[in-house]
Chain A
Amino acid sequence: MTELDDRIRSAYGPASTDDDVRERIWAAAVAPAKRVRSRSKWRAPRTLFAVAVAMVSVGSIAVAQPGPIDNMIGGKNHADRLSVLKETDPVGADGLSDMAQSMFNLRHSQAVEGGFSSVDPAQLHKVLDYDAGRYSFTMLSGASADGQACLYTETRDDRRKKSRFAGGGCSLSFEYNGHVTVMTQRDIQLGTLVTGLADDDVKRIRVKLSTGTATEALMGNNGYLLHLKDPEVRTRGLLVDLKDGRTLDIGMNGCLRSQLASHPKSRLGCGFGMNKGPADEVR
């Protein structure tokens, strides 16, 4: 930073804005913008996703396949489709870092206040723990009061001994793609983490990659996880093998293309609500 920069900052520094002006600018800024935003067909699903998803420090999270609003609030009890929530006892969030615990507690209190789906952190069930060397991951799940299945993930950087990411959300997308939810988290050091919930009908999940191959995800307790260490490898979709022999092909292409269009050098994964393709049954 140069002396010239300091001088510029002094001259062009903050203007004190009194309350009337502040409110006037706010009204002019947000009221028309709200009208524009409300025309988006993704507005309603994204609003419902809002409080359910948390981002901390580095990392972005996205829940793929947000479905039509009618499917989301139609009274389906998604949590009933996960045996982990019926057959195991809650373990709470005690095993998580202090940061993750405080984040989940904060998110829960805000969600309750706002009337959104959320899980009391004390009622979370263990889904998966996975140690990938430098990074380790913990996935927890729970049922919200309105029957949504929620997934929370913490990514820890064990070399730096700190939590790198803590976030998650309640899964509103089962009805849309049928049997799974998917979240991605990506950065240049971590690579890509693909996590999600799978209902009791799912036998196996493979993640389709930009390399043209599909890699099987680790599965257990209605959860699945795949850690791709190479940051250059992108996710393209899921192949979900069901116990009845069918395979669902779920596209995730839109998210990465959109994200890259916005941020040419983005190190992140998907953005909110970018996965738009419905699941195709391939056989």
Chain B
Amino acid sequence: MTSTQQHPVALETDAHLLGRASAGDEAAFRVVYDRHVDVIRGYARGRVGPDAADDIVSESFAVAWRSCSRFDPTAMTARPWLYGIATKVMARYRESEQRWIQQQAHGSHDHPVTTDEPTAYELDPALCHAIGMLSPALRDTLLLTALGELSVAETGRALGITATTARVRLLRARRLVRQALKETQP
């Protein structure tokens, strides 16, 4: 069942749908899934590469499905929340992430590329290299803020850190990435 077949449901907010999903309404959760799977998958592919990305996406939505009763009903969209979940799930894939960063940094393609979609590294290698140099904590903060369009406080909440810590990490991450990008400019 897809969102396109459920016109009345498709008009509902994520909060409303997740409220129903928390009571077991799978169709409602499917609408949320269809709305956001592409962006979460793009995020995961950018961070860990195509192979591990789909596992992360499925795990992330599994976590979301189990915990949708905790979704803040005042939020306009579930996207930041899903980014937060995906970021936490990704913490268990640090090895994959590091491997992917190293492969891309060294131009190694011994790992089979499974689709024709361009990866973040192909789209912007300098940026990905710069982000890949960050510590996981700084990387999480930077990507979550940029992709989830979260405020500093929301980012902190998603990562389980204080807003002040999130702000410090964000400033540091931006400074390091800008510095790295400057150095790679011809």
**Contacting B38 at CB < 8 Å: which of A9, A15, A24?**
A15
- The yes or no answer to A152 lying at the interface (CB within 8 A) is no
A58 close to B37 (CB less than 8 A): no
Which residues from chain A contact B88 at a C-beta distance below 8 Å?
Answer: none
Nearest-CB residue, chain B, relative to A56: B16
Number of residues from A at the complex interface, CB < 8 A: 57
The 0/1 profile, CB within 8 Å of A marked 1, for residues 135-161 of chain B is 000000011011101000000010000
User: Given A30-B61, A53-B23, A56-B16 in contact, is the A15-B72 Cβ separation under 8 Å?
Assistant: no
Interface residues on B, range: 35 or more
Chain B's interface: helix, strand, loop or mixed, by majority?
Answer: helix
Complex Cα gap A21–B145 (Å): 27
The 0/1 profile, CB within 8 Å of B marked 1, for residues 43-74 of chain A is 10011111101111111100000000000000
A4 close to B178 (CB less than 8 A): yes
B43 close to A12 (CB less than 8 A): yes
Which residues from chain A contact B47 at a C-beta distance below 8 Å?
Answer: 12
Nearest-CB residue, chain A, relative to B34: A22
Say how far A230's CB is from chain B's closest CB, in angstroms: 19
Complex Cα gap A56–B74 (Å): 9
B33 close to A29 (CB less than 8 A): yes
Which residues from chain A contact B124 at a C-beta distance below 8 Å?
Answer: 7, 10-11
- The yes or no answer to A137 lying at the interface (CB within 8 A) is no
Say how far B128's CB is from chain A's closest CB, in angstroms: 7
Complex Cα gap A2–B72 (Å): 26
Give the contact stretch, choosing among A118-126, A139-147, A262-270. A262-270
Say how far A116's CB is from chain B's closest CB, in angstroms: 10
User: Given A4-B146, A33-B62, A50-B23 in contact, is the A271-B70 Cβ separation under 8 Å?
Assistant: yes
A51 close to B74 (CB less than 8 A): no
A26 close to B30 (CB less than 8 A): yes
Say how far A189's CB is from chain B's closest CB, in angstroms: 11
Which residues from chain B contact A48 at a C-beta distance below 8 Å?
Answer: 23
Chain A residues within CB distance 8 Å of chain B = 1-2, 4-5, 7-17, 21-22, 24-26, 28-30, 32-34, 36-37, 43, 46-51, 53-60, 106, 109-110, 187, 262-268, 271-273
- Beyond the given A8-B147, A11-B120, please list 11 additional residue pairs across the A-B interface where CB-CB is below 8 A: A11-B124, A12-B47, A26-B58, A28-B54, A34-B26, A56-B16, A58-B73, A109-B8, A268-B74, A272-B19, A272-B69
Closest 4 CB pairs of A and B: A50-B23, A12-B46, A29-B61, A28-B58
